[in-house]
């Protein structure tokens, strides 16, 4: 980290007499005292626990300074930066650090696929530039400034994931990061409970342009009419992607469970991504557009996509000890995303039967029952032999599927019956079968995945 104690004080308008301490280099920044290493700046945040109470632990770990906004007396032996709000101080410091280090900033949001797109984009740009990306799901008002302050000092391209569940959250993140490129993967139904409609979600995702630089680039799906009126007043360059009419259009050449190959308009290059599904091709198109924007050659783009590393729990193929193939996609879910996964899964070749395990999609609001029931259009007994449903909201889909699936093919479990669900899966799954698990993260289906791997 190329940052000193005095710089941090000035960037955050610290109000105490910090100049009584000699200036010194900071080695990093942490808000979790357990992660502190020698020479770090400690940021005590106020949440379920007040981070100020962990100051001694941070000092024992090697913290060399700390922000402070508590009414409790700060330790005399530690250089302290008194601020009104420790979170705002970290955000202000991130703004300062971006201006100092001047990386090109790429921002990615969307109802689904933003993490995969971030991973793909980083892999493409890393072929030519020093890159850094959001780690895990650090994509909110804490995680985004934390990511900025953790980027290596040689970073040329910084890829930031931006998440939200309410209006105005991405607006804040975009104004903080001031991206040079902004991308929206798709508009689904995630968080519709808070935003009212898909139109409300589209408006919230478009907040990513709030801080987009005047000469910047916005990338949007070509098949999303809700975004069209929201882009009309923009002066930045806009490029679309998709499988139909789009600035960057893909034609799928081969789709297998382990990979998907495609070509784009105007090119004979065959691109291959190590993940299934046409929805992932859309994510790859964003990475291709960004690579082209920075004059990365097609050969390098091709190489980056072929070897990109997917963040854990995102469309992950696994295999049990007995040979059962498991498609784990249990980090988040909304109807659009679930339907895309099911459509893709239904066509994947297998020597056994296909089984779908579907858990509740959360935060869908008053129309949750009808949205869950609508998934039945993407389930066919001829393609997916058995369906296992889990959670209160999935009962609506269960009722709908009763007319399509026989009783022995359809299973329903309440949220408190996870153990029974796992036992049923172990009884119906055989070697060479293929199973997909899809649900919101709050349903905890990752535990079921872990149990299946032990079969």
Residue spans per domain, the chain: 5-87, 103-306, 316-453
What is the average pLDDT score of the chain?
A: 95
Question: Which pLDDT score is estimated for 91?
Answer: 98
Q: What is the pLDDT of residues 275-317, one digit of tens each?
A: 988 889 999 999 999 999 999 999 999 999 999 988 775 678 8
Q: Which residues of 279-307 are buried (b: 16+ CB within 10 A; e: fewer)?
A: bbbbbbbbbbbbbbbbebeeebbbbbbee
d(CA 404, CA 290): 44
d(CA 229, CA 249): 22
Domain covering 103-306 assigned CATH 3.30.465.10 in the classification = no
Q: In what helix (H) or strand (E) does residue 335 lie, and over which residues does it extend?
A: helix 335-346
Residues in the chain where the model's pLDDT stays below 50: none
Q: Dihedral of the CA atoms 125, 107, 162, 275 (nearest 10)?
A: -40
Q: What are the Cα distances from residue 381, in Å, to 62, 346, 401, 410, 439?
A: 60, 10, 10, 10, 20
According to DSSP, the residues that pair with 30 across neighbouring strands are: 42
User: Annotated binding site, which residues?
Assistant: 110-116
Q: In what order do the strands lie in the sheet with 434-438?
A: 316-319, 325-329, 434-438, 354-359, 386-390, 410-413
Question: Which pLDDT score is estimated for 335?
Answer: 92
Q: What are the Cα distances from residue 19, in Å, to 79, 80, 368?
A: 10, 10, 57
Q: What is the pLDDT of residues 369-414, one digit of tens each?
A: 999 999 999 999 999 999 999 999 999 999 999 999 999 999 999 9
Q: Strand pairing of 217-221 and 181-184?
A: parallel
Question: Which pLDDT score is estimated for 105?
Answer: 98
Write down how long the chain is: 455
* CATH class belonging to 316-453: alpha beta
Fold of 5-87: 3.40.1390
Q: What share of the chain is helix, strand, coil (3-state, %, to 5)?
A: 40, 20, 40
User: Annotated binding site for ATP, which residues?
Assistant: 110-116
Question: Which pLDDT score is estimated for 455?
Answer: 76
0.85 surpassed by pTM: yes
**Residues 181, 159 contacting (CB under 8 angstroms):** no
d(CA 86, CA 97): 16
Question: Which pLDDT score is estimated for 314?
Answer: 66
Question: Which pLDDT score is estimated for 313?
Answer: 58
**Residues 302, 281 contacting (CB under 8 angstroms):** no
């Amino acid at each position: 980290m190329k940052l000193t104690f005095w710089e941090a004080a000035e960037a955050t308008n610290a109000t105490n007499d910090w100049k009584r301490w000699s200036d010194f280099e900071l080695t990093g920044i942490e808000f979790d005292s357990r992660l502190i290493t020698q020479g770090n700046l400690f940021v005590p945040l106020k949440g379920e626990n007040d981070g100020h109470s962990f100051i001694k632990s941070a000092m024992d770990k090697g913290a060399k300074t700390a922000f402070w906004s508590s009414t409790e007396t700060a330790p005399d032996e530690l250089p302290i930066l008194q601020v009104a709000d420790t979170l705002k101080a970290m955000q202000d410091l991130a703004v300062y650090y971006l201006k100092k280090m001047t990386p090109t900033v790429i921002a990615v949001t969307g109802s689904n696929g933003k993490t995969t797109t971030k991973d793909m984009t980083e892999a493409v740009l890393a072929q030519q530039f020093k890159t850094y990306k959001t780690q895990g799901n650090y994509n909110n008002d804490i995680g985004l400034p934390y990511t900025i302050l953790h980027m290596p000092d040689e970073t040329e391209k910084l890829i930031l994931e931006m998440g939200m569940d309410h209006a105005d959250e991405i607006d804040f993140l975009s104004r903080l990061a001031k991206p040079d490129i902004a991308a929206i993967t798709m508009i689904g139904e995630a968080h519709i409970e808070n935003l009212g409609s898909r139109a409300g979600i589209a408006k919230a995702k478009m907040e990513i342009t709030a801080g987009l630089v005047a000469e910047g680039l916005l990338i949007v799906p070509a098949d999303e009419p809700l975004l069209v009126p929201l882009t009309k007043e923009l002066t930045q360059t806009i490029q679309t992607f998709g499988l139909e009419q789009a600035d960057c259009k893909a034609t799928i050449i081969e789709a297998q469970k382990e990979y998907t190959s495609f070509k784009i308009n105007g090119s004979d290059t065959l691109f291959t991504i190590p993940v299934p599904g046409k929805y992932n091709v859309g994510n790859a198109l964003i990475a291709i557009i960004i690579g082209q924007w920075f004059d990365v050659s097609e050969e390098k783009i091709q190489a980056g996509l072929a070897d990109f590393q997917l963040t854990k729990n995102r469309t992950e193929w696994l295999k049990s000890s007995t040979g059962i193939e498991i498609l784990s996609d249990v980090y988040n879910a909304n109807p659009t995303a679930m339907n895309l996964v099911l459509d893709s899964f239904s066509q994947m070749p297998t020597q056994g039967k296909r089984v779908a395990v579907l858990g509740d999609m959360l935060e869908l609001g008053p129309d949750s029952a009808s949205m869950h029931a609508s998934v039945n259009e993407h389930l066919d007994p001829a393609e997916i032999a058995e369906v296992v449903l889990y959670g209160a909201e999935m009962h609506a889909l269960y009722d709908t599927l009763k007319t399509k699936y026989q009783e022995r093919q359809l299973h329903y479990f309440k949220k408190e019956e996870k153990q029974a669900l796992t036992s049923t899966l172990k009884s119906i799954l055989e070697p060479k079968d293929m199973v997909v698990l899809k649900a919101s993260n709050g349903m905890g289906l990752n535990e079921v995945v872990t149990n299946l791997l032990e079969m």
